[in-house]
Structure 1
């Protein structure tokens, strides 16, 4: 009919939404309130909650400081600065890139795109990969956090710095000797232009927000694991593991890969495992920032799956050996 208004058909979507889930959880919580009160007041739960809160509260300031520094670097420091100060010969540039990690700190997630940008700007692969491993492991935020987590044990700070720096340099030299250009995907060699829009302060805020959300989740997971281990694992198991130094080293090395903690917060999780000797906990701190499940995924996306399949296992072995060597040299077998 002329002049009549168009008929609008409203299609109602059916299905389970987040509101339905929330209501269901709320109803279950109300019905199960007496049982929940008994569970939450149990000594085991209170102990686990204390450990969880302690790890989060201790680590959070260093995590925030780390992501702010990472955001500032993304906004105000160009990777071209590192390229200009590197020596021409890759063999000499590798340790320089490792030491540069102290001046240009960043979390593991941030170091992957920076390394890719370096490769895209023509920096030798070995040098960029050295920086990738060094930046999240030997920067001042991580070392200060380690000192706070292990009061009275300055050797842990020195051993962690030496072990992480050695891991980065050895992997750089190893890649220079046996690495092949075709192992890195072609997309990583294309120059990556930084995103623009909103100015440098907007870049800082967005980078810090992204890193905080990402790393904060891993911190919560790590704190939960530390809390669970503190109450569910029988003390006899930890005592037995503490008496088997080689086994403890291997177990904590694998645990570091699986937990994928942020390097600004992992020291507090390691400190909570006080029953174990210092050497296995040092291995945990050196292996974690060098290779873990999230880093393997990020490296596969940035440099290709073939690269990750070769680089990650080699890094794991080198990190364990360097951590054990630095630990025996600085803190001994304890």
Structure 2
């Protein structure tokens, strides 16, 4: 705990999250509007020139026919749109993150103990192997419990070219999400609560940003690990690196056909998931032994309730 008590603890957490969602939604809306306006103007022009009869049925049919390509463009460029929206949130989270570090100095809170750079290999290995294990586990879950939303999300994600996927899904979006959910939310929870309380609630909100149940479960577990890395390494660079490595490796392995090869045989898929989980467990043990922040068990936390904005 950092022992920083804000006057309005609710808004210190809810405010940044609402701002993050509003910025993302506004950028996505503007881009969507920019794509749809030319098609809408075409319908209006056809109505003025008498090409379309001014009846409700004719106008509705025209909208359906003309806006079809617009909807296809929205799906085709979903990665680019999501990346632009995430990029727009960095101004907000960057200012808040910098302000929080200044506030810590004001309260005389010593800077976090940072893990040596020589230990970052653990994050690289965990991310690369973890991307294989996680993808295999999600593929197995998809076989057992088919999730149409997960299927649709995967299709739209891989619609973009690999360089665009790496820049957007592998760099911009992980950076934006980590700045919000670890850099702001987790750290602000940590001002008043212990590790598990802070990690759980920041991971809950992180997982709620995803639509399918498969992704929700996966991102919640990933959020706990990202919070632990932030705590252990003492810098936002650690969770950003893991998030980026997992996303990039998943994209590259998919492009190389690794997951298609593993998924062609159920036994092979299961072995890859188990082996990957074993390697990640071994690396996690190494991470645990890295000298980091001292564990804290504040007395007031023992009787605290799971109030998400406490």
Q: Normalising by structure 2, what TM-score?
A: 0.31
Question: If the length of structure 1 is used for normalisation, what is the TM-score?
Answer: 0.30
